[in-house]
């Protein structure tokens, strides 16, 4: 499929996990991509994979902290210049930190909110003028199954993802007459850096019995990040032209 021929796409979190998989999926479908991340080494790996795939001529990478307002303004402007406009924004960047709610410091809470929720907002705000001037503009935000279903020790993370879903609905209504679509994906049971041992950082005294409802119903364990990337690619293409103001759960039936 070449659904992204001529389409200009900005993807956050492009240095690892689902964001990285989305970069490669959209490049494979003919898109031009600017991938940003705080992880310079991860972006280098993304670029190396693109070179091996023969798609490097359509990829630009840049280090960007999405929680930094000034950096986002400059980074989005540079991305729009590099692409010659903007048609799709994919907000895949995020962090997952876990702790007992009664032990969650304000510092930790603010860190999670600043990246996941505020960072997503900043990317949207700065990208909207270019998107509204683009061709079939789409914003794909990353929520999580934690926004709707119980994930122990993740109250701060869940709050940010619920906020992203609510913001997505608002965006879809506010800009609908200008042709913009806004959709959230809600992954769950997906293997990525975020869900590895270095991601959630679950408390040492974690009660694992609280996670018994978090197993994929399909019985095949966690899926790879490319599973979500395929859905994101659909949503940002003409195949998703009648989908807006909603969230799509991608979890193998974990929460059926």
Positions marked catalytic: 157
The packing angle between helices 226-235 and 17-28, to 10°, is: 50
**Maximum Cα–Cα distance across the chain:** 51
Give 225-248 as a DSSP string: THHHHHHHHHHTSGGGTT--SEEE
Backbone phi and psi for residue 141, each to the nearest 5 degrees, phi listed first: -100, 155
d(CA 168, CA 142): 10
Q: Token match 């608002």: residue?
A: 170
Q: Where are the alpha helices (DSSP H) in 88-196?
A: 106-113, 119-132, 155-174
Which residues make Cβ contacts (< 8 Å) with residue 23, sequence separation at least 6? Answer: 11, 14, 33, 35, 46, 50, 59
b/e map of 214-235 (b: 16 or more CB within 10 Å)?
bebeeeeebbebebbbebbbbb
Angle CA(201)–CA(205)–CA(208) in degrees, nearest 5?
A: 80
Q: Token match 């692409």: residue?
A: 83
| Strand ordering across the sheet containing 246-250 | 59-63, 32-37, 8-12, 88-91, 138-142, 181-187, 246-250
d(CA 58, CA 98): 37
């Amino acid at each position: 499929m070449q659904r992204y021929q001529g389409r200009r796409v900005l993807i956050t979190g492009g240095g690892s996990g689902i964001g990285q998989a989305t970069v490669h999926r959209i490049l494979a479908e003919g898109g031009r991509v600017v991938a940003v991340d705080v992880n310079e080494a991860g972006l280098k790996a993304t670029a190396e994979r693109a070179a091996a795939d023969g798609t490097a001529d359509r990829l630009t990478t840049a280090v960007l902290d999405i929680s930094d307002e000034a950096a986002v303004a400059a980074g989005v402007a540079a991305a729009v210049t590099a692409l010659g406009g903007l048609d799709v924004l994919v907000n895949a960047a995020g962090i997952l930190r876990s702790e007992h709610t009664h032990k969650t410091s304000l510092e930790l809470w603010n860190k999670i909110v600043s990246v996941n929720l505020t960072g997503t907002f900043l990317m949207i705000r700065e990208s909207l003028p270019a998107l509204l001037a683009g061709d079939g503009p789409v914003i794909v935000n990353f929520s999580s199954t934690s926004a709707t279903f119980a994930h122990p020790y993740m109250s701060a993370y869940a709050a940010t993802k619920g906020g992203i879903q609510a913001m997505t609905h608002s965006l879809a209504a506010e800009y609908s007459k200008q042709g913009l679509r806004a959709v959230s994906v809600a992954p769950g049971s997906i293997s990525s850096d975020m869900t590895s041992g270095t991601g959630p950082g679950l408390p040492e005294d974690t009660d694992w019995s609280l996670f018994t409802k978090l197993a994929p119903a399909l019985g095949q364990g966690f899926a790879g990040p490319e599973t979500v990337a395929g859905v994101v690619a659909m949503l940002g293409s003409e195949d998703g032209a009648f989908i807006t103001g909603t969230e799509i759960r991608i979890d193998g039936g974990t929460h059926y």
